[in-house]
């Protein structure tokens, strides 16, 4: 079994107190509890403070372009569908720049786990407003307050076909660890949206703000009840934030529906050893 330091990369450069520290520990802990080693997990990072974890976490990883972590992850999964694929992104990257990819990844039920650091801002570029910020949120890019209403990531994922939708809080590392582990165990597109205070640029959605508004889903919530899950997701509109698995459903994953992948992975198919011959066709 691997140890937490096996996943250590360079020392993180996150601001002291940033929620990313807690999420980083939760991700490493979940990888260990899932019996994965750095060479067994394929991790695709987005751009941003969360994406910088590409340097801080030792794994078989790729730092992708703005908003393009999901298509890269989908490509990696189709090429080697036996691999565990994890995507680590921010809210601006996943729901803003990559919002179209997010919707279609949900529809396809691509078998991967997406951990979103949801802080309402583009932290790495010094705090411009991101899609989950509340209407009226003032930032450098919206000095008079943002005009648009916020994206509801949980409702969006549930309604567009994701088969595992959960929410965690960066201030509760043990709970977030469990959610990420359960998301990786689930076969299908799994979203773990983690409420993450950006202590430097977001002075609204602080630890105190969330501590008075988050609550854990109880035994009375049935994750298989889509309507109940959507109702829980919509509580964001009254500034209540349920933590736990809102929705879970079993549905065939994308690669299971491709007959060419039934016997082996694309990577193992022999034609990939003859890439020079294929390239010769284009000379």
Stretch that binds Mg ion, among 73-81, 90-98, 104-112, 243-251 (CB under 5 A): 90-98
Q: Which two tokens stand for residue 167?
A: 């929410």
Per CB under 5 A, the list member of 20, 91, 97, 172 interacting with Mg ion is: 91
Contact of residue 65 among Mg ion, ligand SF4, none (CB under 5-8 Å per partner type): none
The single-letter DSSP state of residue 168 is E
DSSP H helical segments within the chain, as ranges?
19-33, 53-56, 69-79, 91, 99-108, 153-160, 173-185, 207-211, 226-233, 275-280
Sites of contact with ligand SF4 (CB under 6 A): 14-15, 18, 20, 49, 119, 123-124, 198-201
Query: How open is the CA angle 87-242-195, to the nearest 5 degrees?
Result: 45
CB-nearer residue toward ligand SF4: 84 or 206: 206
Minimum distance from CB of 121 to Mg ion (Å)? 5
Minimum distance from CB of 18 to ligand SF4 (Å)? 3
Contact of residue 34 among Mg ion, ligand SF4, none (CB under 5-8 Å per partner type): none
CB-nearer residue toward ligand SF4: 19 or 99: 19
Stretch that binds Mg ion, among 32-40, 118-126, 266-274, 275-283 (CB under 5 A): 118-126
CB-nearer residue toward Mg ion: 114 or 130: 130
CB-nearer residue toward ligand SF4: 58 or 206: 206
The dihedral of CA 219, 184, 65, 22: what is its sign?
Answer: positive
Contact of residue 91 among ligand SF4, Mg ion, none (CB under 5-8 Å per partner type): Mg ion
Cβ of 125: how many Cβ atoms within 10 Å? Answer: 14
Contact of residue 204 among Mg ion, ligand SF4, none (CB under 5-8 Å per partner type): none
Q: How far apart are CA 234 and CA 48, in angstroms?
A: 27
Burial level of 13, CB count in 10 A (0-12/13-18/19+)? Answer: exposed
The answer to the question of residue 150 lying near Mg ion (CB under 5 A) is: no
CB-nearer residue toward ligand SF4: 36 or 49: 49
The answer to the question of residue 92 lying near Mg ion (CB under 5 A) is: yes
CA end-to-end distance (rounded Å), the chain: 48
Say if residues 183 and 158 touch (Cβ distance below 8 Å). Answer: no
Residue in this structure with the two tokens 């567009």, named with its chain if needed = 160
The answer to the question of residue 90 lying near Mg ion (CB under 5 A) is: yes
Strands 241-248 and 164-169, by their bridges, are antiparallel
Cβ of 113: how many Cβ atoms within 10 Å? Answer: 30
State the residues that interact with Mg ion by CB under 5 A: 90-92, 119, 130
């Amino acid at each position: 079994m691997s140890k937490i330091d096996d996943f250590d990369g360079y020392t993180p450069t996150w601001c002291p107190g940033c929620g990313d520290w807690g999420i980083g520990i939760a991700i490493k802990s979940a990888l260990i509890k899932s019996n994965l080693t750095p060479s067994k997990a394929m991790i695709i990072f987005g751009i941003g403070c969360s994406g910088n974890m590409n340097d801080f976490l030792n794994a078989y990883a790729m730092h992708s372009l703005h908003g393009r972590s999901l298509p890269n992850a989908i490509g990696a999964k189709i090429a080697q569908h036996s691999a565990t694929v994890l995507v680590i992104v921010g809210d601006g990257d996943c729901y803003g720049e990559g919002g179209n990819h997010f919707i279609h990844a949900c529809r396809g039920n691509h078998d991967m786990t997406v951990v979103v650091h949801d802080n309402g801002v583009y932290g790495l570029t010094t705090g411009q407003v991101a899609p989950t910020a509340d209407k009226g949120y003032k930032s450098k890019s919206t000095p008079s307050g943002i005009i648009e209403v916020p994206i509801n990531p949980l409702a969006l994922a549930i309604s567009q076909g994701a088969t595992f939708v959960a929410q965690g809080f960066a201030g509760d590392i043990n709970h977030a660890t469990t959610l990420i582990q359960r998301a990786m165990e689930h076969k299908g597109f799994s979203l773990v949206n983690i409420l993450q205070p950006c202590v430097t640029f977001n002075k609204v959605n602080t630890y105190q703000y969330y501590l008075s508004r988050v609550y854990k889903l109880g035994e009375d919530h049935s994750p298989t009840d889509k309507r109940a899950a959507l109702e829980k997701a919509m509580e964001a509109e009254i500034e209540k934030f349920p933590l736990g698995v809102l929705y879970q459903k079993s549905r065939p994953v994308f690669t299971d529906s491709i007959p060419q992948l039934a016997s082996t992975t694309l990577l193992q198919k022999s034609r990939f050893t003859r890439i020079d011959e294929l390239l010769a066709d284009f000379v």
